[in-house]
A and B are shown apart, each in its own frame.
Chain A
Amino acid sequence: MKIIKTGSAGTLESSDVLITVRSNNGRGVQITLSSTVEKQFGKQIRLVVLETLKQLDVTEAAVDIQDKGALDCAIQARLIAAVHRAAGIEKINWEEMR
């Protein structure tokens, strides 16, 4: 999936995460993370993000994550929504979703 514009999804409410995805031409995937639980879960959050981007076949993106203690399933949902918005794709391919 190719990122063509800025797309974000999520909120700054407790247990949620606000994810913004931008194009990152020629620089692969870059993640910036600010989280209320970064010390304990920073590594896990990055792992979920990288794995989800791989599933979506996103190889180039700047991903900004402002986390308010979201669980993995919320991070996945927000990232998938943000990537689709940033790729200008309205419909999700549900058959490909895990």
Chain B
Amino acid sequence: MKDRLRRTMLYVPGNNTGIIRDAAIYRSDSIMIDLEDSVSYRQKDAARLLVYTSLRTFDFEGVETVVRINGLDTPYGREDIKAMVRARPDIIRLPKTDSAHDVQEASRLILQEEKKNGLPEGSIGLMAAIESPLGVINAYEIACASERLVGIAIGAEDYVTAMKTSRSADGVELLYARSAVVTAARAAGIQAYDTVYSDLNNEEGFRQEVELIKQLGFDGKSIISPRQIKVVHDVFTPSAKEIEHAQKVVEAIDEANAKGSGVIAVDGKMIDKPIVERAKRTLEMASASGVLSRKEGRYHA
């Protein structure tokens, strides 16, 4: 579960039955059904029930299901966990995570419900969204807080407000937070996800942001519309040239290993361990993205 491909996590409002029912048809890597900001206070009970019966009924055809619950400091968060563990999404996402304690408390409550419902311990994964300066400062402790954690995300809107700034086209105000979150995730060996891009009509701006966060090292991004899926998948899918080079590298290293020789070169450039690792990751991503199939340990287009 932990290393699953999560390039796109599509937000789905938790109180909208038609959108929940159809969410999987767009083939984002995950759908993220929301009980938090998209649901008004007066509808929290109704949305929780709707998500509960929907998760127990619909077949999401292999698309991962994530439920964003309300914070544990609200009157709704604990009730959300009770209901959602029984409904069995793949992942529960905790919003507004400021400390390792927030993650540990959520994990403890999930465990309690897993036991009550006869589910194996750890069967529901956990994601933590960091949305405050304090959360960013504590990112590494948060990322290490629980075995259940598959990844951490940066949520930008509350963060930039707390930083007394606002979001800009090039995202300079988020550079530190994004870098801190992705570095913490890598140090802890879990995934990192970027925040939403809200301007649906600016496809070029969106593409630039996706390219930026991929370059920073993120695994994927929360998205707010099916229209955003293709751009993200395109950016995250290795190009034919990158795949070809990666294949050459992997073949060269295999050959060198077979011969017992040390230093090797591909296209006149020396190949060392990090380059081999990157090449393998390129091929894994190409395979996971469906542009390559893996047979007998080799990749075939």
Which of chain B's residues have a CB closer than 8 A to the CB of A9? 46
Count class of interface residues, chain B: 20 to 34
- Known A70-B17, A77-B50: A97·B45 in contact at CB below 8 Å: no
Q: Which 4 A-B pairs have the closest CB atoms?
A: A15-B18, A73-B57, A73-B53, A81-B46
Q: A15-B18, A97-B86 are in contact. Are A77 and B45 (CB under 8 A)?
A: no
Query: Which bracket fits the contact residues of A?
Result: 20 to 34
Q: How far is the CA of A16 from the CA of B86 in the complex (A)?
A: 23
Within 8 A of A (CB), among B1-60: 15-18, 21, 45-46, 48-50, 52-54, 56-58
From known contacts A13-B18, A14-B18, A73-B54, infer whether A94 and B82 are also in contact, taking CB-CB under 8 Å: yes
- Chain B proximity mask over A70-87: 1 for CB below 8 Å, otherwise 0: 111110111011001100
Q: Indicate which residue in B16, B18, B50, B79 contacts A78 across the interface (CB closer than 8 Å).
A: B50
Q: Is the CB of A77 within 8 A of B53?
A: yes
B300 interface contact, C-beta 8 A: no
Besides A13-B17, A90-B45, 13 more A-B contacts (Cβ < 8 Å) are: A13-B18, A15-B17, A73-B56, A77-B46, A77-B52, A77-B53, A78-B49, A78-B50, A81-B46, A81-B49, A84-B45, A92-B45, A92-B49
CA distance A80 to B18 in the complex (A): 18
Which residues in window 40-98 of A have CB below 8 A to B?
70-74, 76-78, 80-81, 84-85, 90-92, 94-95, 97
Decide if B49 touches A80 in the complex (CB within 8 Å). yes
Of all chain A residues, the one with the shortest Cβ separation from B51 is A77
Q: Let me know if B83 is at the binding interface, CB within 8 A.
A: yes
Closest residue of B by beta carbon distance from A74: B17
CA distance A94 to B117 in the complex (A): 10
Taking the complex as formed, is B101 at the interface, i.e. its CB lies under 8 A from any CB of chain A? no
Q: C-beta contact mask, B53-79 vs A, less than 8 Å → 1, else 0?
A: 110111000000000000000000001
Q: What residues of chain A lie closer than 8 Å to B86, measured between beta carbons?
A: 94, 97
A91 to B79, CA, bound (A): 8
| A13 partner, pick from B16, B21, B49, B79, beta carbons under 8 A | B16
Docked-complex contact A97 and B18, CB < 8 angstroms:
no
- Tell me whether A15 and B46 are in contact (CB under 8 A): no
